[in-house]
Structure 1
Amino acid sequence: MTEASVQPHAHDIAIVGAGIVGIAVAAYLAEAGRSVTIFDRTGICEETSSGNAAAFAFSDVLPLAQKGMMRNVPKWLMDPLGPLAIPPTYLPKLLPWLLRFWKAGAPEHYEASLAAQAAMMQLAESEWTELMRRSSTQPMLRDDGSLELYESDAEFTASLPGWRARDRFGIKYRHVEGDELAALQPGLSPRFVRGTFVPGWKTVADPKLLGKAVWAYAEAHGARFVQGLVRHVATGEGGVELHLADGRTERAKTLVVAAGAWSHRLARQFGERIPLETERGYNTTLPASAFDVKRQLIFSAHGFVVTPLSTGLRIGGAVELGGLALPPNYARSRAMLDKAKRFLPGLDASGGRDWMGYRPSLPDSLPVIGRARNASNVFYAFGHGHLGLTQSAATGRLIRDLVLGHSLPMDIAPFSSQRF
Structure 2
Amino acid sequence: MLQENPTDTVVIGAGIIGISTALELQKRGRRVLVLDREGVGAGASKGNAGAFAFTDIVPLATPGIMRKAPKWLFDPLGPLSIPPTYALNIAPWMLRFWRASWQDRYAAALSAQAALMDHSRAALERQIADVDGEALMQRDGQLQVFEGEAEFRASRPTWDRRKDHGIPFDLLDNPDAIAEIQPGLDRRFTHAGFTPTWMNTVDPASWTRHLATRFTARGGQVEIATISALTPMDAGVRLTTSIGEIDARQVIVAAGAWSHHLAKTLGDRIPLETERGYNTTLPQGAFDLRTHLTFGGHGFVVTRINGGVRIGGAVELGGLELPPNYKRADALLAKAGRFMPGLNLEGGTQWMGFRPSLPDSLPLIDRSARAPQVFYAFGHGHLGLTQSAGTAELVADLVTNTKPALDMKPFASTRF
- TM-score class, shorter: over 0.9
Question: Are the aligned partners of 2:61 and 2:106 in contact in 1 as well (CA < 8 Å)?
Answer: no
Q: What is the root-mean-square deviation of aligned Cα atoms in Å?
A: 1.5
Question: What is the DSSP-based 3-state SS (H/G/I as helix, E as strand, rest coil) of the residue aligned with 2:34?
Answer: strand
- Answering whether residue 396 of structure 2 is matched by residue 404 of structure 1, we say no
> Is the Cα–Cα contact under 8 Å of residues 229 and 241 in structure 2 kept in the other structure?
yes
Q: Name which of 178, 182, 190 aligns with 2:179.
A: 182
Give the structure 2 partner of residue 333 of structure 1: 329
Residue 225 of structure 1 deviates from its aligned partner by 0.5
Say if 2:73 and 2:84, in contact at 8 Å, map to a contact too: no
Do 2:13 and 2:255's aligned partners in 1 also have CA atoms closer than 8 Å? yes
| C-alpha distance in 2 between matches for 1:7 and 1:353 | 47
Alpha-carbon distance in structure 1 between the residues aligned to 2:308 and 2:65: 30
Structure 2 distance, partners of 1:35, 1:311, is: 37
Residue identity opposite 2:337 in structure 1: K
Report the TM-score when normalising by structure 2.
0.97
**Helix, strand or coil at the partner of 1:376:** coil
Does residue 231 of structure 2 align to residue 234 of structure 1?
A: yes
Gap change, CA 1:71 and 1:151, over 3 Å in 2: farther
Q: Does 1:257 align with 2:279?
A: no
Which aligned pairs between 1:218-297 and structure 2 lie closer than 5 A?
218-245=215-242, 248-297=244-293
**What's the TM-score, normalizing by structure 1?**
0.96
Q: Distance in 1 between matches of 2:93 and 2:108?
A: 20
Whether 1:306 and 2:307 are equivalent positions in the alignment is no
Report the counterpart of residue 348 of structure 1 in structure 2: 344
| Counterpart in the other structure of 1:194 | 191
Q: Distance in 2 between matches of 1:350 and 1:356?
A: 19
Aligned to 1:52: 48
How many matched pairs? 415
Shift of 1:79: 2.0
2:14 match: secondary structure: coil
2:98 match? 102
Deviation at 1:170, TM superposition (A): 0.3
Q: Percent identity?
A: 49
Distance in 1, Cα, partners of 2:72 & 2:159: 23
Where does residue 22 of structure 2 map in the other structure?
A: 26
**How far is 1:245 from its partner?**
3.3
Contact 1:282 1:332 in 2 (8 A): yes
Task: Report the Cα offset of residue 111 of structure 1.
Answer: 2.2
In structure 1, the gaps of 5 or more residues are none
What is the distance in 2 between the residues matched to 1:155 and 1:353? 31
Secondary structure of residue in 1 paired with 2:407: coil
Cα 1:302/1:70, change in 2 over 3 Å: farther
CA contact (8 A) 1:45 1:211 kept: yes
Q: 1:284 to 1:150 in 2, by over 3 A?
A: same
Corresponding residue SS for 1:37: strand
The correspondence for 1:66, drawn from 32, 39, 62, is 62
Q: 1:79-94 to 2 correspondence within 5 Å?
A: 79-94=75-90
What is the distance in 1 between the residues matched to 2:74 and 2:183? 33
Task: Give the Å deviation of 1:311.
Answer: 4.8
Relative to structure 1, the CA distance from residue 112 to residue 34 in structure 2 (aligned partners, 3 Å threshold; closer, same or farther) is same
